Chains A and B, each alone.
Chain A
Amino acid sequence: MIVFKNIHLKFQDKVLFEQFNLEITEGSKVLLKAPSGKGKSSLIKMLLGFITPDKGEVYLDHKKLNKQTLPYFRKNIGYVSQDVDLRNEKMETLLEQISGFNSNKHLDFSKEKIASLFTFFELHKAHLTKTPKELSGGERQRMGLVICALLDRKVWLLDEVTSGLDEAAKEKVVNYIMEQNKTILISSHDKIWTENKEISIKEW
Chain B
Amino acid sequence: MVDSISYLSIMTLILWLIPIIFINRYFKLSINKKIVYSIIRMLIQLTLVGLFLQGVFDLNHVFINIGYLVMMIAVASFSTIRTCQIDLKKYSLPILLSFILPNLILVIFFNAFVIGLDTLWDARFLIPIGGMLLGNSLSGNIIGINQFYKTIKENEKQYFYLLSLSGNRLEALRPYIKEALLASVSPTIASIETIGLVALPGMMTGQILGGSLPLTAIKYQIAIMITIFIARYIGTLLVIIFTASKSFNDYDVLDM
* Contacts from A to B (Cβ < 8 Å): 45, 48-50, 52, 66-67, 70-71, 74-75, 77-79, 81-87, 98, 101-104, 147, 151
Complex: how many Å from CA A75 to CA B188? Answer: 40
Complex: how many Å from CA A74 to CA B157? Answer: 15
Contacts A50-B253, A70-B251: A81 and B166 contacting too (C-beta < 8 A)? no
A67 with B161: CB separation less than 8 A: no
Q: Which residue of B lies closest to A83 (CB)?
A: B157
Complex: how many Å from CA A147 to CA B165? Answer: 9
Q: Which residue of B lies closest to A102 (CB)?
A: B168
* B149-184 interface (Cβ within 8 A of A): 155, 157-158, 160-168, 171, 175
B171 with A74: CB separation less than 8 A: no
Complex: how many Å from CA A50 to CA B248? Answer: 11
Closest chain-A Cβ to B167's Cβ sits at a distance in Å of: 4
- Enumerate the 9 nearest inter-chain pairs by beta-carbon distance, A residue then B residue, closest first: A49-B251, A74-B167, A79-B164, A67-B250, A101-B166, A85-B157, A85-B158, A75-B167, A81-B161
Instruction: Indicate if B122 sits at the interface (CB-CB under 8 A).
Output: no
**A48 contacts which chain B residues (CB < 8 A)?**
160, 163-164
B160 with A81: CB separation less than 8 A: yes
**B158 contacts which chain A residues (CB < 8 A)?**
85-87
Q: 5 interchain pairs (CB within 8 A)?
A: A48-B160, A48-B164, A50-B160, A87-B175, A98-B165
Complex: how many Å from CA A77 to CA B160? Answer: 13
**B160 contacts which chain A residues (CB < 8 A)?**
45, 48, 50, 81, 85
Complex: how many Å from CA A203 to CA B161? Answer: 26
Q: Which residue of B lies closest to A99 (CB)?
A: B165
Complex: how many Å from CA A90 to CA B139? Answer: 32
B168 with A103: CB separation less than 8 A: yes
Closest chain-B Cβ to A123's Cβ sits at a distance in Å of: 18
Q: Which residue of B lies closest to A84 (CB)?
A: B161
Closest chain-B Cβ to A165's Cβ sits at a distance in Å of: 19
B167 with A101: CB separation less than 8 A: yes
Complex: how many Å from CA A66 to CA B163? Answer: 16
Closest chain-A Cβ to B153's Cβ sits at a distance in Å of: 14
Complex: how many Å from CA A97 to CA B168? Answer: 13
Q: Pick the most buried of B157, B164, B166, B171: most chain A CB atoms within 10 A of its CB.
A: B164
**B157 contacts which chain A residues (CB < 8 A)?**
81-83, 85
Q: Which residue of B lies closest to A52 (CB)?
A: B251
Q: Pick the most buried of A49, A78, A82, A83: most chain B CB atoms within 10 A of its CB.
A: A49
Closest chain-B Cβ to A40's Cβ sits at a distance in Å of: 15
**B251 contacts which chain A residues (CB < 8 A)?**
49-50, 52, 67, 70
Complex: how many Å from CA A67 to CA B251? Answer: 6
B164 with A77: CB separation less than 8 A: yes
B165 with A151: CB separation less than 8 A: yes
Complex: how many Å from CA A200 to CA B163? Answer: 28
Closest chain-A Cβ to B19's Cβ sits at a distance in Å of: 52
**B175 contacts which chain A residues (CB < 8 A)?**
87
Indicate with 1 or 0, residue by residue over B96-124, a CB within 8 angstroms of chain A CB atoms: 00000000000000000000000000000
Q: Pick the most buried of A66, A81, A151: most chain B CB atoms within 10 A of its CB.
A: A81
Q: Which residue of A lies closest to B252 (CB)?
A: A49
Complex: how many Å from CA A147 to CA B166? Answer: 12
**A66 contacts which chain B residues (CB < 8 A)?**
250
8 extra A-B contacts, CB within 8 A, seeds A74-B166, A83-B157 = A49-B253, A74-B167, A78-B164, A79-B165, A84-B161, A86-B162, A101-B167, A102-B168
A101 with B161: CB separation less than 8 A: no
Indicate with 1 or 0, residue by residue over B213-256, a CB within 8 angstroms of chain A CB atoms: 00000000000000000000000000000000000011111000
Complex: how many Å from CA A45 to CA B251? Answer: 11
